[in-house]
Chains A and B, each alone.
Chain A
Amino acid sequence: MSRVRVALLSITLLALAAVLLAPSTSQSQSPKSGGVLNMMLREDLSQGFAIHETSTISTVWPAMPCFNNLVLFDPLKKTESAETVIGELAEKWSWQDNFRNLVFFLRKGVKWHDGQPFTSKDVKFTFDMLREAPDSPAKLRINPRKDWYSNIEAVEAPDQYTAVFRLKRPQPSLLLMLASGYTPVYAAHVPPADYRSNCVGTGPFKVKEWRKGESVEFVKNSDYFIKGRPYLDGLKYYVILERSTRQAAIQAGKLDVSFPGETTKTAAEQLKKAVPQLVITPFSQNVADNIIMNMKKPPFDNLKVRLAVSHAIDRRALVQAVHQGGAVIGAGLAPKPWGFWGLAEKDLVGLPGYGAKAAEEKALAKKLMAEVGFSAQKPLKVEIATRAIAVYVDMASFVVNELKQVGIEATLKQIDTAQWHATATRGDYQIGANLTGVGPDDPDANYYENYACGSPRNYSFYCNEQVMKMFDAQSQELDPKKRLALNAAIQKRLEADAARPILDWKVDYFTVWPHVKNLIPHQSIYNFGRMQEVWSDK
Chain B
Amino acid sequence: MKTYVIQRLVIALLTLLGMSVVIFTLLRLAPGDIVDILFSTAGYVSQDEKTAIMKELGIDRPYWVQYLDWLRQILTGDLGKSYRYDQPAWQIIRPLVPVTLELAALSTLFAVLIGVPSGVISAVRQDTTLDYLLRVFSLAGLSMPAFWLGMVIILGLVTWFAWIPPLSYVSPFQDAKLHAVQFLLPSLAVGYRSSALIMRITRSSLLEVMREDYIRTAWAKGQTGRVVIWRHALKNAMLPVVTVIGIEFAFLIGGLVVTETVFNLPGVARFLVQAILWRDYPIVQNLVMFIAIVVILSNLLVDMLYGVLDPRVRYGG
Contact = CB atoms under 8 A, between A and B. Distances in A.
Interface in A392-417: 416-417
B169 interface: yes
Contacts of B43: 55, 144, 421, 457
A59 interface: yes
B73 interface: no
Given A55-B43, A418-B32, A214 B262 contact: no
Contacts of B164: 245, 248-249, 252, 254
Given A416-B31, A418-B279, A422-B32, A193 B264 contact: no
A141 B49 contact: yes
B92 to A, nearest CB: 5
B167 A240 contact: yes
A418 B36 contact: yes
Kindly name the residue among A241, A242, A418, A457 whose own CB sees the greatest number of chain B CB atoms within 10 A.
A418
Instruction: Report the contact-size class of chain B (Cβ under 8 Å from the partner).
Output: 35 or more
Interface string B136-165: 000000000000000100110111001110
A238 B168 contact: yes
How would you classify the secondary structure of chain A's contact residues: helix, strand, loop or mixed? mixed
Interface in B277-297: 277, 279
B266 A59 contact: no
Nearest to A423: B45
Contacts of B49: 141-143
A214 B168 contact: yes
Given A44-B274, A144-B43, A274-B159, A418 B37 contact: yes
B36 A213 contact: no
A511 B87 CA distance: 35
Interface string B259-276: 001111010001100100
B287 to A, nearest CB: 12
Q: Which of A47, A248, A426 has the most CB of B within 10 A?
A: A248
Contacts of B303: none
B270 A456 contact: no
Nearest to A458: B44
Candidate in B42, B49, B154 with the most chain A CB atoms within 10 angstroms: B42
A285 B316 CA distance: 68
Contacts of A144: 42-44
A425 interface: yes
B64 interface: no
B183 to A, nearest CB: 15
A46 B85 contact: no
Nearest to B96: A213
A305 interface: no
Interface residues of A, number: 50
B86 A196 contact: yes
Given A47-B38, A252-B162, A242 B31 contact: no
A213 B271 contact: yes
A245 B262 contact: yes
Nearest to B46: A456
User: Which of B31, B37, B169, B274 has the most chain A CB atoms inside 10 A of its CB?
Assistant: B37
Nearest to A53: B42
Contacts of B163: 252
A420 B263 CA distance: 30
A68 B44 CA distance: 26
A241 B261 contact: yes
Contact of B31 (A141, A212, A418): A418
A248 B154 contact: yes
B37 A244 contact: no
A417 to B, nearest CB: 6
Contact of B86 (A43, A56, A193, A245): A193
Contact of B45 (A58, A141, A212, A422): A422
Nearest to A417: B40
B113 to A, nearest CB: 27
Contacts of A46: 41
Contacts of A416: 31-32
A196 B159 CA distance: 39
A456 to B, nearest CB: 4
A251 B164 CA distance: 9
A42 to B, nearest CB: 12
A239 B169 CA distance: 11
Interface in B58-105: 84-87, 92, 95-96
Q: 3 closest pairs, A vs B, by CB? A: A418-B32, A456-B44, A144-B42
Interface of A: 38, 43-44, 46-48, 53-56, 58-59, 141-144, 193, 196-197, 211-215, 238-242, 244-245, 248-249, 251-255, 274, 416-422, 425-426, 456-457
Interface of B: 31-33, 36-46, 49, 52-53, 56, 84-87, 92, 95-96, 151, 154-155, 157-159, 162-164, 167-169, 261-264, 266, 270-271, 274, 277, 279
Given A211-B169, A245-B154, 15 more contacts: A59-B41, A141-B38, A143-B49, A197-B85, A197-B87, A214-B169, A214-B266, A241-B270, A253-B162, A416-B32, A417-B277, A418-B32, A418-B33, A420-B40, A456-B44
